Amino acid sequence: MTHKVTLIKGDGIGPEICEAVKKVIDKSGADIDWEILEAGASVLDKYGTPIPDNIIESIKKNKVALKAPVTTPVGKGFKSVNVTLRKKLNLYANIRPIKTYAGVKCRYDNVDLVIFRENTEDLYAGIEHMINDEIAESVKIISKKASERIVEAAFQYAIKNGRKKVTAVHKANIMKLSDGLFLKTAEKVAEKYKGIQFESVIVDAMSMKLVLNPEDYDVLVMPNLYGDILSDMASGLIGGLGLVPGANIGEDAAVFEAAHGSAPDIAGQNKANPTAIILSGVMMLNYLGETEAANKIEIAVESVLREGKYLTEDLGGNATTTVFTKAIIEKIENCN
């Protein structure tokens, strides 16, 4: 069966890594019909918005998208394309698997955790204003409904994937009402899942624990902001942002994208590591039921990393994006 998928090229390193993931998926045997669209800085002048309506329409129609990163101006300018997409399509669960890969230098051997980040509210609701010239206020929204569905998603994932423990991360000692509601809701949901161990950890202590003993953690679930920060931090445990894929899942659509941003510092230099978007492609293929193609790609990526002959600069090598991608494609061809 042919799957129609929206492919969003993004900006910065987006177009380079997009080309890489498309080539890899096309070689894997998965039957994908791509609808390729642009978003971000490249379309801003043409459409007056970084996220033209045709993108939302295309994802609503196809139900599945693979998206490259898009730049968001800091402290001014347009609203984040990513946050807009997640809110408009109600993509409430952001899922980021973080694990060590043989051949990639890092301080740990056995990290294998999955972060479930609530994706639609918290301080990302975008409700902020100036009270006067010297005081700004941001509103943090936490609802029972959104907390419940993200914690449910984490437990369901744990069950389906043979995971043993779910850790809820919060700051309810200080934000007694908002994070208090998140924690109370998580505890309530956990009561239904007796077979899965449940614990809660305050976010500051969690940061230390993750750095000291990341092997102790399995599935982690948390509100939006903590998820954003801890998933970047956790990527540092396994060798960097170039390795962490992600999925944004909602009831009616799913958008797959790397955890990293548009990396303007290396854009256009053929230096970007496409692993994260390729592994996001693997998550997408599994979601679509294309498990054979997904496995083929995952094995190819793992074997190129393990052999260490063609690694991109962020992983200590000197292979270009193109060379690294070609090495993965060759592995896929060898197992076809």
Contacts with ligand NAI in 290-319 (CB under 6 A)?
314
Q: Which residues 263-282 are close enough to bind ligand NAI by CB under 6 A?
A: 263-266, 272-273, 276
Cβ of residue 70: shortest distance to ligand NAI, in angstroms? 4
| Closer Cβ to ligand NAI, 38 or 257, answer by number | 257
Q: Which residue is nearest to ligand NAI (CB)?
A: 261
Contact region with ligand NAI (CB under 6 A), list: 83-91, 99-107, 175-183, 260-268: 260-268
CB of 272 to ligand NAI, least distance (A): 4
Handedness of CA 322, 328, 330, 333 (dihedral sign): negative
Q: In what order do the strands lie in the sheet with 32-37?
A: 32-37, 3-8, 64-67, 254-257, 247-249, 93-99, 112-118, 219-222, 165-170, 197-202
DSSP annotation of 139 reads P
Judged on CB neighbours under 10 Å (0-12, 13-18, 19+), 78 is: middle
Which residues are annotated as catalytic? Answer: 124, 171, 204, 228
How many residues bind ligand NAI, per CB under 6 A?
A: 20
Q: Please choose, out of 51-59, 63-71, 91-99, 289-297, the segment that lies near ligand NAI by the rule CB under 6 A.
A: 63-71
Is residue 82 part of the contact set for ligand NAI (CB under 6 A)?
yes
Binds ligand NAI (CB under 6 A): choice among 71, 100, 178, 185: 71
- Contact range with ligand NAI by CB under 6 A, out of 55-63, 68-76, 200-208, 303-311: 68-76
Largest Cα separation within the chain, whole Å, is 64
Phi, psi at 5, each rounded to 5°: -130, 135
Alpha carbons 157 and 286: distance in angstroms, whole number: 13
118 part of the interface to ligand NAI, by CB under 6 A: no
By beta-carbon proximity to ligand NAI, the closer residue of 15 and 201 is 15
| Residue 151, number of CB atoms within 10 A of its CB | 26
Mark 23-62 with x for binding to ligand NAI (rule: CB under 6 A) and - for no binding: ----------------------------------------
CA atoms within 13 A on the CB side of 199: 12
Please tell me the distance from the alpha carbon of residue 1 to that of residue 331, in angstroms, as a whole number. Answer: 25
Question: Which 3 state secondary structure label does DSSP give 329?
Answer: helix
Residue 257 is a binding residue for ligand NAI (CB under 6 A): yes
Which listed range, 66-74, 92-100, 210-218, 279-287, lies at the site for ligand NAI (CB under 6 A)? 66-74
Least separation in angstroms between CB 13 and ligand NAI: 6
User: What's the full length of the chain, in residues?
Assistant: 336
Closest CA to 150 of 230, 70, 91, 63: 91
Residues of the shown chain interacting with ligand NAI in the complex, contacts defined by CB under 6 A: 13, 69-72, 82, 241-242, 257, 260-266, 272-273, 276, 314
